[in-house]
Amino acid sequence: MAVNCPGCRAPMTAAHYARRQGGTVELDFCFSCQLIWLDQHESAQLAPQAVVQLFELLHVHKEEGRYGLPDKFNCLRCGVAMQLTHDAVRNNRFVYHRCTAGHGRLIGFWHFLREKQFVRDLSAPERQALAVTVAQVKCTGCGAPVDIRKDDACGYCRAPVAVLDKEAVAKALEGYRAVPIPQAAAAPAARPAPAPVQASNGSGNLIDAIDLVGTGLAVVLALLD
């Protein structure tokens, strides 16, 4: 059933992905609001190759997001206000909005990647090592530049500096290669990845703010070619 995004009210884009036990799972996307609607328990039912296919989809649409989303959302099925829920998998924290009647949940692209443990917080030693060669990184939460020489989180949305987790990616690729990959039915078309974001380094010069998660996704896609 077609649904409208609870953020911008535009029709969401539906796509079907392989289910662990066979068949497919339907997900609904709003690329402008960077949101995914999943019916009850659909996230856990996604097959490994389906999750890897989502790497590509989220990567090619990651620059389309608009900011300033509402704090509250209503369920796409029953219209009742959804509950903001904080959760964690192996200490990897993420948030989503869930329908209290059990119809489904709404989760942002970045938090979906955190739930699947592909994205994790950058540790203090990792941040210090990276700061030797990179002054600023792009916030995965809102897109703002973050000076990692002094900050461990975005000054605007307070999202922690995150990075794609190499071990989680390796595990996903192992599952991806072990199972034949069906074509996703009605899947949105992929487009070339955008150029790096430009930000000021404080001296008036423009530098590239490195997108740690986006760069990691691009590496994954290169490995899949």
Each residue of 162-220: pLDDT tens digit? 877 777 667 766 765 665 544 443 444 443 333 333 333 333 332 345 566 666 656 55
| pLDDT per residue as tens digits for the range 78-111 | 999 999 999 988 778 889 999 999 999 999 888 8
> How far is residue 38's CA from residue 176's CA, in Å, rounded to a whole number?
21
Q: What is the pTM of this model?
A: 0.71
Mean pLDDT of the chain: 76
Indicate the pLDDT class of residue 74, thresholds 50, 70 and 90: very high
* Contact indicator for 62, 72 with CB cutoff of 8 Å: no
Closest CA to 30 of 10, 50, 46: 10
Average pLDDT score over residue span 46-53: 81
Mean pLDDT (whole number) for 113-121: 82
